[in-house]
Amino acid sequence: MKKIYCRNRNWFQKVFRIMKITLFLCLFSVIQVLALPSVGQAKFNLKMENTSIEDVLRNLEENSSYHFFYKSEDLAGKQKINIDVERKNVFEVLDEILPDLQLSYEAFDKYIAIKATETSKGSYQSGADQKLVTGKVTNEQREPLPGVTVIIKGTNNGTVTNVDGNFSLSDVTSDDVLIFSFVGMTTLEVLVGEQTSINIELAADAIGIEEVVAVGYGIQKKENLTGAVASVNMEELSNRPTSNMVNSLQGVAPGVFISSPGGQPGADQGNILVRGIGSFQNSSPLIIMDGVSITLQDMASLNPNDIKNISVLKDAASAAIYGSRAANGVILITSKEGKNQKSGIRLDSYYGFQSATVLPELVNAEQYARLANEARINGGQAPYFSEEQISLMMNDDPYDGFDNVDWIDQTFRTAPLTSHTLTFNKGDEKLSTTLSLGYLKQDGIMIKTGTERINFRGRVDYDITNFLRIGMNLNGYRTNNNQFLGSVGGTDGSIMRRLVRTPPSAPVYYQSGGYFSEFDNVPGYNTIQNPLRIADGGTDDELSRRIISSVYASIQLAHGLTLKTQLSYNYLNRDQEIWNKRQIIYDDNGDLVVDTGKNALRNTAFNREEYQNETFLTYEKLFADKHDFKFLAGYSFYKLNTNQYSAYGEDLPNNTIKVLNATSANFSVSGSKWSNALESWFGRVNYIFNEKYLFEGNVRYDGSSRFNEENRWGVFPSVSAGWIVSKENFLSGLSWLDQLKLRGSWGLLGNQNINDSYPYIQTYDVGQNYLFGSVPSLTGGVAVTNIANNAATWESAETFNIGLDATLFKRLNVNFDYFDKITNDVLIQLPIPGTLGNVSAPYVNDATIQNKGWEAVISYRNSFNKLTYNISFNISNVKNEIIDLKGQEFYLDNRIHREGEPFGSWFGLKAIGIFKAEEELQNAAFQHNQTTLGDIHYADLSGPNGEPDGIIDSYDRTIIGNSFPEYVYGFNLGLNFKGFDANAFFQGVKNVDIYSSETAENTGSNNAYYTWTTRWLDRWTPENPDSQLPRLRTVWEQNELVSSFWLEDASYLRLKNIEIGYTLPNALTSKFKISKLRLYAGGQNLFTWTKLKNYDPEKRTNDVRNESYPQTKVVQFGINCEF
């Protein structure tokens, strides 16, 4: 349906002018800076008289980004020098002064080693124990570590490892101690002794003081964070057998809850909630990859092997820099780069087998027939099946009109899953390149479903000079999702619904080969259709092509001052072809039983374009060794354009031709387009005093095209502070306390992601027909179908957070956060008078939602001889409450939005149990005039006056359960031993309810058309009066009223992933020019502990009929190989 609207184009012209001016200023800055020196090759003036070489090097270090290494005796005794240079860079200065001192230098990345020349060495290197020491540094996975600092303790004599992890250090004595240090790894000291070759393995640092994490528009040391940020290392997740990267985060980051819609390949994209639900519109977080905003579908389609790290910004201090898009949290994705990596090729490949985690155990044909007969007899109807017919069901003859069919077995299968990623890396001090190509193919466990995806990625970062860095990032994927026509679950035409609405007594095929379809045209049996015939009734194929691209330039204007600009362009094209096949089926007597009529074809195309510019300036400076100051200021512009069209036609010549031009009936077309834009200014200030008092302030000024000009702009600030208590003198005596930090934050965030791009503009819908003339005839026209609200504006979330970070005994990490987030001005559609006509209500800022709770993470890491092990546990608790709905209540089938209650709480009657005695029945409130023993006993809670009135009716409905888990947790166990590694990850939720009714869980009120799970074999009967399940009865819906009886505890603990691997010794693999070869086996979702039977506890909340595509468990075998 096309939207027709009028807009003030002056605003867009103004924005376009701003973009042109900004681009001109950026280009002008680049041109000017290219003519200027910068830190690396900054041409500065230096005048020093009668000074030592050590003082000169310290001066150069302060005025450049380089760090110097040297051995003290190399510089000892050197004469004082005079230096007077103008407009020379570091290397030109060194070239001028070092030769006369018999010194030379060697540069590696940002390090410069000063060495004595061979002539100079002879004067003091005659000691017999001075020697050359070489070696290699690797991590726990035996991978080389480039950039490790190797220095002789107590001196400045040192070096760094190269891209292969190798190092070489001269002038070492047997008494020297070598110190090996690297960011994120435990520092190691080694006595040289008689060794001339030292190969070491660095373990990950449990403290992680030097570890950096991604934050908005940059990185920060983990030690200096004042906000709530969860960081996930993707190396730990890349081998998990999933086609969806979103789901792989489940249980890994505290405060993050992922609800999965099911296990259908290509449609298993989970929904992400960060610290609860804060909006009726869209509670999904903002997702940024390498500075470019992407969609949840994009994130789901990324290749995990391409990702280095994921950070989740959860509070205002960390997320306010993104302003109006950050109210629901921010996810920052950092891709891998080739810098300082060994050049080579890496292959990551696995093959696996999938099956359903759980499928309902249904009754067989005989059991179904007897249950159906019982339900009809209890309902005063004649039984369906005679004893003779029941015997035919079990006689193993599928062509006598009856059979014993397991429709679950007919529809599901064990399906293969395979993934291959080839990555090319080349990196040095200046140029880093990463290219990767990934392929994934996943057949669905349900017949005729599957997906196939190709991922490609290219990233280039190039230091043109020491002050100018440019780069390009290109990501893309091509996804082909396939399924049969119609839905796999959740609608009347879905296969999952047909599986339990088709009796097991119905055969699969006629003897002549056609699908058995006796029920299809029988009155009263319209809901019973052969699932295999439905699955063969057509196709629904979707092909998506996505490009995510960006280029950037980073210019160091002066020491500590950097300007960066990034331009990005994203494009999505999605084509969908829905083909409705004509089916003609005859039974064994030659009678026509099914003719679906004309075949049909629908082609739909969707296109999405995004343009984005981010330009920002950063400055950092350390004053007097105590005052560490950082500043960021920037500008951002984002524009989105979308369009969609669809064409439909019927009556193709046959079931082979699928071309719209071949249709000959009921041809129609439709289309729509929309766009929105966002302009922003932002800034951040960081201040650290004496390395222990931390302060940060953020602000963003956003303007959104979604709102009227008077309400378009909003300010979103945050402030935060931290105190590293462990650095205070009064705690210096506590050797077991390595780090203790307290932090707190406050801020205001916004949400502009509502379900309407133009809530303030009155729009018209075409295709609205009118009747005109004395003989009324339909005439096409337009009409107003919604009411605009030009006062609509941002949803604003005020967030408070306090946290604690501690490290004990150098091995135990503890993190704790408490938060309180109140979202005000939440957009809702309140009821409007019917006199306004057939129009939808406007969006108004009238609701308030609160989310508060806590999060905790505990991790421990240790080693014993060659065994290294780690244990981690995280848990989060979120309490959600709707504070204000202006007195309104909104009903969602079995759930409700109500003031004072959690979002979408289960709502219905409270079930006390089953009536098992006449006395209980007589003393109970009036239920129904036909209620008897074996029926559900409902509680009388209220009446018209708010007090119990002895009658069960709608007044007795109440909150009966929680649809959102109270606790979400996960824990991980890992170990490494002599090349072997093992990892097990468990994930779970606690105190959450799901509703299970109607589909295979029913009392037969639907004339006993539907089948049952086997637990209904233990239903109430006069002979089984102690059963917990009610009696069966047709034409009786009293037992199927929405009530707590059908709620079940969906708490669970699941072995989400387990993996065992072995890395072959390098001495063996190097003979084949293989630097690393790891073989592994693993599984996903292999075991689940839950009270729930027949259905997976991870099913989506609104699946009250248990019709979601089942979750999958996988057994896999894989290889990681580096050349």
User: What are 447-481's pLDDT values in tens digits?
Assistant: 999 999 999 999 999 989 888 999 999 999 999 99
Per-residue CA distances from 305 to 437, 1030, 1118 (Å): 10, 52, 13
Residue 235 has a pLDDT of: 77
Helix (H) and strand (E) counts in the chain: 14, 58
Can you state the angle between helices 53-62 and 90-97, rounded to 10 degrees? 170
Query: CA–CA separation, 713 vs 735, rounded Å?
Result: 52
Work out the number of other CB atoms within 10 angstroms of the CB of residue 920.
14
- Nearest by Cα to 201 from 948, 1069, 867: 867
Residue 119 has a pLDDT of: 52
Asked if 821 and 799 touch (Cβ cutoff 8 Å), the reply is yes
Query: CA–CA separation, 352 vs 561, rounded Å?
Result: 50
Show the low-confidence residues of the chain (pLDDT under 70): 1-44, 65, 71, 107-111, 118-129, 141, 183-184, 204-210, 238-239, 243, 339-342, 488-493, 519-528, 998-999, 1007
Residue 340 has a pLDDT of: 55
- Nearest by Cα to 633 from 614, 661, 610: 614
Asked if 1052 and 989 touch (Cβ cutoff 8 Å), the reply is yes
Q: Structure pTM? A: 0.82
Residue 33 has a pLDDT of: 39
pLDDT digits (tens, 9 = 90+) for 796-837: 999 999 999 999 988 899 999 999 999 999 988 888 887 777
Asked if 602 and 646 touch (Cβ cutoff 8 Å), the reply is yes
- Nearest by Cα to 1102 from 945, 921, 955, 894: 894
Query: CA–CA separation, 244 vs 252, rounded Å?
Result: 15
Of the CA atoms within 13 Å of residue 312, those in its CB half-sphere come to 23
* Radius of gyration for the chain, computed over Cα atoms and rounded to the nearest angstrom: 34
Domain borders along the chain are 918-956
Residue 24 has a pLDDT of: 45
Per-residue CA distances from 825 to 435, 719, 746, 1070 (Å): 46, 22, 18, 63
Asked if 805 and 748 touch (Cβ cutoff 8 Å), the reply is no
Query: CA–CA separation, 784 vs 4, rounded Å?
Result: 10
